[in-house]
Amino acid sequence: MSSVHATVAGSPVSTTATISAPADRRAYRMSSLDMLRGLVMVVMALDHVRDFVMTAAVQDPTADPASSPLLFATRWITHFCAPTFVFLAGTSAGLMSRRKSPAELASFLLTRGLWLIVLEVLVVSPAWSFAPMGIPELGGQTYIGLQVIWVIGASMVILAGAQFLGRHACLLIGVMILMGHNLLDGVWPAASTTGSTGPLWAVLHARQLHEVGFLSVFFSYPLLPWTGVMLAGYGAAGLFELPEKQRNTLLVRIGAGVIIAFVLIRALNVYGDPHPWQSDASGTAASVMSFLATTKYPPSLLYVLMTLGPAALACAFIDRLQGPIRTALVTFGRAPLAFYLAHLYLIHSAAILLGIAQGFPAQQFLTHYRYFPTGFGVGLLGVYLVWIAVVAALYPLCRWIADLKARRQDWWLSYV
C-alpha cells in the first residue's frame, strides 16, 4: 500500500489517500482526476464495442426515436466521455503551468498536440478499418477519421499559444465559445458525410468529409467548440489547487448549477441546441429521451452543460471510492492513451473472431464497422459481455504503463 500526496508549486492539491496503485511522481497528477478520467475511458469502450459488435447498430441511438430506453441509455451515458476527457486534458495542462514556464508549457503542448494528430492519422484510423491500403466500399480510398484524439491534439496546439494570455483569459474565452457557438447553427455550412461539399474551414463547426486523392478524410469532431472545452478546462485548473474540502464544495455547487442551467435552458427550447425537444404523447420515456437527446457533432451548449455538470459532481465524490474499483480507475486514468489505442485494435479483433464464429469470412471485417456484413453481431446483452471482457483484458497493459510512469519521469512518458 502507498500514499498519494500531490503538490503543485509547494501547495497541497490533494489530501493523503491510501490506494493500491503506486503514486505517480508527476506532481500535477491528482487521484480524483485520474479516477474520473479512468471512468470515462471505461465507459467510452462500451460505445465502441456497441459500434463494432451489435447487430444492426446505429451510430447514435439517441437520435433514433425508435430506440428502446435501454439502448438509448447505453449510448447516452457515453456522451459524458469526450467532454470530460477534453476538459481534463485542459485542466492537466493548467496544473502543469505552475511547474513550467509559459515557454516550456507552449513547447510541450505544441509537440504533444502534433504528436496526437499524427497518432490519429497513422495509428488510430487504421484501427477502425484494418484496411490502411483502402476500403472497397469507399472506392478503394484509405479512411482517415479525425475524431477525439485529433481534436485534443489540435486544441492543444491552440492552447499552446492561448495559455500566454493566462488562466482567467482562457476560461473566459472558452466559456464564450461554448455559450455562443450555437449562433452559427443557421449560417454555417451544413455537415457533410458524403464528399467534399463545403470549404475546409467548415470543419471548425461542422462535420465534413473531404476526398483528397486516395484519402477519404472525415473530420468527425468540429474544432471550435472542443477548443472551447479545453480552454475552459485550462482556466479552471486553479479550482483543483484548492484544499480538498473547499474544492469539493465548489465542485458540488458548480455541478449542481450547471445541471440546473441545462434543465432550464433545455426546457425553454429556444437556444443552445439545433434540435428542439418534443413532448411525446406516447409516454414519459419518449419525452425524457427527446429532452436528453442533445447534439454532439458539434457539441452544443446544452450537450456540454448536460455532461460536464454531472462530471463535476462525480469529481467531488469519486475520491471516496476505495478498494479494487479505485485501483482500477486510477490505473486506467494514468494510461489513457495506451487504453485508447489498444482498445480499438482489441475490439476490432474481437469483432473478426465473433464474425468467424458466426460463419462469416474474416476478410469481410477488414473494413469500417459500418460496412460489416448483414446478419453479423450480437444483442445488447452480448455487447455488455464483450465490453467487460475488453476492459478486463486491457488492465494488465494499463497497470504496467501506470507503474512505469509512477517510477520514472523520462520526458517521453508524457507522450504515451
Query: How far apart are alpha carbons 27 and 311 in whole angstroms?
Result: 23
Find the domain containing 51 and state its range.
2-415
Extended beta strands in 134-222, E state: 142-146, 208-212, 215-219
What's the mean pLDDT in 383-395? 98
What pTM was computed for the model? 0.91
Number of neighbours of residue 184 by Cβ within 10 angstroms = 17
Model pLDDT for residues 123-133, shown as the tens digit of each residue: 999 999 999 99
- What's residue 194's pLDDT? 77
Query: How far apart are alpha carbons 216 and 255 in whole angstroms?
Result: 40
Is pLDDT at 304 greater than 90 in this prediction?
A: yes
Contacting residues for 339 by C-beta, under 8 A, at least 6 apart: 41, 45, 332, 394, 397, 398
Looking at residue 205, its amino acid is: H
* Structural element, H or E, at residue 118: helix 102-119
What's the mean pLDDT in 61-71? 87
What's the mean pLDDT in 66-87? 95
Is pLDDT at 384 greater than 50 in this prediction?
A: yes
Q: What region does 130 belong to: left with phi over 0, alpha with psi -120 to 50, or beta?
A: left
165 vs 27, more confident:
165
At 218, is the secondary structure helix, strand, or coil? strand
DSSP one-letter string for 226-287: HHHHHHHHHHTGGGGGS-HHHHHHHHHHHHHHHHHHHHHHHHHTSSS-SS-----TT-HHHH
Is pLDDT at 10 greater than 60 in this prediction?
A: no
Is pLDDT at 147 greater than 80 in this prediction?
A: yes
What's the mean pLDDT in 9-35? 54
- What's residue 23's pLDDT? 54
Give the model's confidence band at 14: pLDDT under 50 very low, under 70 low, under 90 confident, else very high. Answer: very low
> Lowest-confidence range among 12-26, 70-84, 302-316, 363-377?
12-26
Model pLDDT for residues 232-286, shown as the tens digit of each residue: 999 999 999 999 999 999 999 999 999 999 999 999 999 999 999 998 777 789 9
Q: How far is CA 319 from the centre of its chain?
A: 21
Give the model's confidence band at 196: pLDDT under 50 very low, under 70 low, under 90 confident, else very high. Answer: low
The average confidence (pLDDT) of the chain is 91
What's the mean pLDDT in 4-8? 33
82 vs 195, more confident:
82
Query: How far apart are alpha carbons 295 and 304 in whole angstroms?
Result: 9
Residue 278 CA: distances (Å) to CA of 267, 284, 415: 10, 11, 45
Give the model's confidence band at 4: pLDDT under 50 very low, under 70 low, under 90 confident, else very high. Answer: very low
Half-sphere exposure of 142 (CA within 13 A, CB side): 14
At 215, is the secondary structure helix, strand, or coil? strand
Query: How far apart are alpha carbons 113 and 104 in whole angstroms?
Result: 14
Query: How far apart are alpha carbons 54 and 378 in whole angstroms?
Result: 5
Give me 63's grid cell: 437520435
- What's residue 21's pLDDT? 53
Tell me 99's DSSP state: T
Give the model's confidence band at 289: pLDDT under 50 very low, under 70 low, under 90 confident, else very high. Answer: very high
pLDDT > 70: percent of the chain: 92
Query: How far apart are alpha carbons 241 and 13 in whole angstroms?
Result: 5
- What's residue 190's pLDDT? 87
Place of cell 503506486: 22
What's the mean pLDDT in 341-355? 98
How many domains does the chain contain in total?
Answer: 1
Model pLDDT for residues 212-233, shown as the tens digit of each residue: 889 999 999 999 999 999 999 9
Q: How far is CA 299 from the centre of its chain?
A: 12
DSSP one-letter string for 362-392: GGGGSS-GGGPPTT--B-HHHHHHHHHHHHH
- What's residue 29's pLDDT? 63
Give the model's confidence band at 197: pLDDT under 50 very low, under 70 low, under 90 confident, else very high. Answer: low
What's the mean pLDDT in 173-182? 98
